[in-house]
Amino acid sequence: MQWIFLVAMVIITSCGNNSSTAEAPIDLVVSENFKNPIGFYNPKPSFSWKLPVTEQIKSQSAYRIVVATNPALLPDNADLWDTNTVDSDQSVWVNYEGAPLESRQKVWWQIMFWDQDGNSSRWSEVAYVELGLLHNSDWQAKWINLPEAEVPDIMDNGYYFHRPQYFRKSFNLENPISQARLYITSKGVFEAEINGIRVGEDVMTPGWTPYKKRIETLTYDVTDRLKKGENAIGVVVAEGWYSGRIAYARSFVGEKPVPQLICQLEITFQDGARQIVASDASWSGTTNGPIRFSDIYEGEDYDANMEMSGWSTPDFKAEDWIAAEEMELDSEIKLLPKRHSAVREKMKLPVISITEPESGKFIFDLGQNMVGVAEVNIPVKKNQKITIRFAEMLQQDGTLYTANYRSARSTDYYIPKDDGMIKWKPKFTFHGFRYVELSGFDSTASPEKDWVAGIVQYSDFEQTGSFTSSHEKLNKLQSNIVWGLRGNFFDIPTDCPQRDERMGWTGDAQVFAPTSIFNSSVHSFWASWLQSAREEQFVDGGIPNVIPNNRGNSSSAGWADAITIIPWEMYLRTGDKSILEENFSMMQKLVGYYHMKPESRFGELNSFGDWLQPYSHNKEDDRKGDTPNELIESAYFAHSIQLTLNAAKVLGYDKEIAELQAVKDSVVMAFRNKFLDENGKLTTALETQTGYLLILTFDLVSPEMAKKIVPRLLNTIEEADNHLRTGFLGTPLLAPVLHKYGETDLLYSILFKETYPSWFYSINQGATTMWERWNSFSHDEGFGEVSMNSFNHYAYGAIGQWMYEGIAGISALEPGYKKILIAPTLGIPLEFARADYTSGYGVISSAWKKLTNGLELKVTIPPNTTARVIIPVEIGMKVLLDEGEIASNSNVSLVERNDASMVLELMPGKYAFKTQQ
Ligand code: RAM
């Protein structure tokens, strides 16, 4: 009897309609791609997983998720949530619907699925998610600072600054430890140590948010750092974005806020007892540590004579340290767990050559414009100051070109305490550079390449895509785009990483966001920045030009719209509806803001126009280009309404759908009446490429009218000798529009232009990143306009989207790539191209190669998706699959055969097609 019961149990728990077991699901993540997070921000996570790639598994027919408070309860006794068998092919974004999770809570989860034939999989490995501190009331700790830090010092250049504050606390733990977590953040930037060893690998934490509303907290597992007996924690806090110089003003215009620390070390002992070590007035501190000064723009000053050996260990005698002052938490400022990865050291670049253009000043070339810090490993003389300067470019005489840093000092100083070798890098600054100039080292030694390394830092995301082709310059462009991304995803999306700016310009962000997600796992990065946008939205619905905002209260068309465009783009590319839910009301308020103005008052909004359009005739401000503000404003108004409407449809917000549709129709009518004549010609003073591109991208006219407009656009391009005449707003639209209207040969020719203005032109001038201007530098004319000349500015990298979607031809037919389109665009200049992209379902790839008499196309489709592939093949030619007949493969079905292509529907798998005479 017992035996029969046991067998029955086994059958029930395997839950199969069919007894065979498939491989377990893999890559379990919560919410925006977090793998086993601790200190997690979201008490209602969603769950996603991937099906294993095997011959047999094509799709999921059902799943079961179990969630428990203890891994031992899994899978059979899940006490928090058991979905039981859910008949569904959903393998991404399954919302947790168990009891709400609480601060600190750690829960374990596991998943199994049934494939298309009802075969059950094995259970996945157990994954977990641990929450951070979700409420201000979770904090016993107080904000602390040193009294002396309240009075800032003044720098030589007149800017005030606060010296970095070192804090410490020693404490006794009487019992063996089972678990310890450090919850920590600062107003400023911090680095923590426990018992002399650094905590975590993050840099410049907590990053930059609207500090008056929200400061992000970090959580670290420090169980292994602590021991029974005496322990100590030490934290150094510097100004960072909080009170350092950032932008034309500081974060808080006119204020001189004091950097502060808050942290809470929570220890659980093996007997279950708990102890909390929290920042408060019992901590002591000093500003007399070795980091004398740190600032994002200026750099860092370090004096080794001031080193305090062992300052974060229990034995340290903190004799001249003073008591910290404590301050209660402010209920207006929410302390919330950081919702995207902090910046980290991601790569280390070696030096490729050394020069000495001025006696005693050696320049180390890293061969690549990058963002981060330089690590030096050099011989020094006691008290002989080392100067470390940076530049993105060199002048003709081989010395550093630093004029484009504007007022940013961007220099580090180090004073050695002894003769000998030092290894050092700064902690609380970052630089944008390719070249490092060293002087002041021990001049008896001759410089070696290993004296300097470039430590590349950016928000800790992974590569999700790659693009390569037969064309060297196109590959260089891809590399420059990726370096532009690495350089400008430094906790927030910045326009540039090197000069006295480095701000979250919204316009730049919206044009580059789609490209960024092809290349990197930046979904949570954008979701987090959008939260800052919600916090910064003005009462009237306007959106500041930079987020976080430190530039006053104006909104600009094409910039503000980042907050409708980015949620929509992220939804399309990930299938995550929560990004629409979270941002819907912000989107709606922006529409309301635009709508406040009667239609007759087009052009009321501030605008940067088609920023930096080449050959501008604009007499007021040539940077704003030739497309009138009012047209840009009205077009973006219509576009933002459309995207908000799309979101309302996805979310099923019926009331809003009707309202938004009505506004959209009236705006579009007004646009047509004002800006177009009946022949589709722009009525503006100048016909611009961008004017036509906006109309065609945002579908502001009927298909019949679009047919009249396309030739006009082509005409403006021809007049420019087949070059682009577009700025920040127009350039990203060129590819989608020309692609949509079948002008891909022209598009290839614009993209492959070597002459100004073009992508390859900058490459021909030596670009290793994207530049702010096509001619930021040229061999003939030298450096461009110095007042605004960044050599690391991702905006024009927006073409990367078409390299994936157009050239390689990978795009999403359904949000999140549940249904994929593979439709490569062959171009005369290319022999082959290949892109790989890791979607929520797994790797999608498309690789094509021209053959003497046809084409080879290799495609990978991940499980639980389907794909439509459009193979360019003329009538009369044959298409083979794996050297055989297509018809013999049951995973492929023919949708259509037309003059120019064969359209097939593919099940998951790998396919090699060949076209032949
Ligand atoms: C400059 C930068 C930035 C741009 C603004 C309008 O500061 O070029 O990228 O968005 O102007």
The predicted-structure confidence for 201-248, as pLDDT tens digits, reads as follows: 999 999 999 999 999 999 999 999 999 999 999 999 999 999 888 865
pLDDT confidence tier of residue 3, bands split at 50, 70 and 90:
very low
pLDDT confidence tier of residue 697, bands split at 50, 70 and 90:
very high
Going from the Cα of 502 to the center of ligand 1, the distance in angstroms, rounded, reads 10
Catalytic residue among 501, 535, 569, 805: 501
Return the closest-CA partner of residue 687 out of 664, 719, 661, 659. 719
Going from the Cα of 533 to the center of ligand 1, the distance in angstroms, rounded, reads 18
Residue type, 857: L
pLDDT tens for each residue of 39-49: 999 999 999 99
Per-residue model confidence (pLDDT) at position 248: 53
Helix H or strand E segment including 716: helix 703-719
Mean pLDDT of the region 103-127: 97
Helices 562-574 + 506-519 axis angle, to 10: 10
Going from the Cα of 505 to the center of ligand 1, the distance in angstroms, rounded, reads 7
Q: Among 77-86, 154-163, 575-584, which stretch is predicted with the lowest mean pLDDT?
A: 154-163
What atom of ligand 1 comes closest to residue 612's alpha carbon?
Answer: 8
The span from the CA of 888 to the CA of 886, in Å, is: 5
pLDDT tens for each residue of 13-31: 444 444 457 899 999 999 9
Beta bridge partners of 231: 171
The CB density around residue 621, as the number of other CB atoms within 10 Å, is 11
Q: How far is CA 799 from CA 480, 490, 557, 760, in A?
A: 11, 21, 21, 12
814 is catalytic: no
Going from the Cα of 208 to the center of ligand 1, the distance in angstroms, rounded, reads 19
Going from the Cα of 183 to the center of ligand 1, the distance in angstroms, rounded, reads 36
Q: Which of 246, 248, 404, 495 to mutate to test the pocket of ligand 1 (most atoms within 8 A of CB)?
A: 495
**CB of 216 sitting under 6 A from ligand 1:** no
Q: Which of 499, 501, 607, 611 to mutate to test the pocket of ligand 1 (most atoms within 8 A of CB)?
A: 611
Going from the Cα of 868 to the center of ligand 1, the distance in angstroms, rounded, reads 40
- Per DSSP bridges, beta strands 819-822 and 866-872 are parallel
**CB of 569 sitting under 6 A from ligand 1:** no
Q: How far is CA 757 from CA 255, 558, 693, 711, 719, in A?
A: 43, 22, 18, 22, 14
**CB of 505 sitting under 6 A from ligand 1:** yes
Nearest CA to ligand 1 atom 3: 495
**CB of 611 sitting under 6 A from ligand 1:** yes
Return the closest-CA partner of residue 845 out of 866, 855, 860, 832. 860
**Does position 86 have pLDDT exceeding 80, yes or no?**
yes
Mean pLDDT of the region 516-541: 97
The span from the CA of 668 to the CA of 485, in Å, is: 35
- Per DSSP bridges, beta strands 334-337 and 214-221 are parallel
**CB of 633 sitting under 6 A from ligand 1:** no
The span from the CA of 858 to the CA of 868, in Å, is: 13
Per-residue model confidence (pLDDT) at position 10: 40
pLDDT confidence tier of residue 9, bands split at 50, 70 and 90:
very low
The span from the CA of 583 to the CA of 296, in Å, is: 31
The CB density around residue 43, as the number of other CB atoms within 10 Å, is 14
**Does position 601 have pLDDT exceeding 70, yes or no?**
no
Residue type, 866: T
DSSP per position, 514-530: HHHHHHB--HHHHHHHH
**CB of 727 sitting under 6 A from ligand 1:** no
3-state secondary structure 88-157: CCCCCCEECCCCCCCCCCEEEEEEEEEECCCEEECCCCCEEEEECCCCHHHCCCCEEECHHHHCCEECCC
- Per DSSP bridges, beta strands 26-30 and 46-50 are antiparallel
**CB of 495 sitting under 6 A from ligand 1:** yes
Tokens 């084409």 — which residue? 855
Per-residue model confidence (pLDDT) at position 602: 63
What atom of ligand 1 comes closest to residue 556's alpha carbon?
Answer: 6
**CB of 794 sitting under 6 A from ligand 1:** no
Going from the Cα of 495 to the center of ligand 1, the distance in angstroms, rounded, reads 7
The span from the CA of 600 to the CA of 592, in Å, is: 16
pTM of the model: 0.96
**CB of 772 sitting under 6 A from ligand 1:** yes
User: 60 — phi, psi (to 5°)?
Assistant: -105, 135
pLDDT confidence tier of residue 550, bands split at 50, 70 and 90:
confident
Nearest CA to ligand 1 atom 9: 495
Mean pLDDT of the region 759-766: 98
- Per DSSP bridges, beta strands 810-812 and 854-861 are unpaired
Going from the Cα of 795 to the center of ligand 1, the distance in angstroms, rounded, reads 10
Nearest CA to ligand 1 atom 6: 608
**CB of 508 sitting under 6 A from ligand 1:** yes
**CB of 741 sitting under 6 A from ligand 1:** no
325 is catalytic: no
**Does position 132 have pLDDT exceeding 90, yes or no?**
yes
| DSSP conformation class of 250 | B
pLDDT confidence tier of residue 129, bands split at 50, 70 and 90:
very high
Per-residue model confidence (pLDDT) at position 595: 85
Q: 19 is written with which tokens? A: 């007894």
Mean pLDDT of the region 453-469: 98
Beta bridge partners of 861: 909
Return the closest-CA partner of residue 171 out of 310, 272, 278. 278
Average pLDDT, the chain: 95
Quote the distance between the C-alpha of residue 309 and its chain's center: 38
Are 696 and 670 spatial neighbours (Cβ–Cβ below 8 Å)? Answer: no
The span from the CA of 354 to the CA of 395, in Å, is: 15
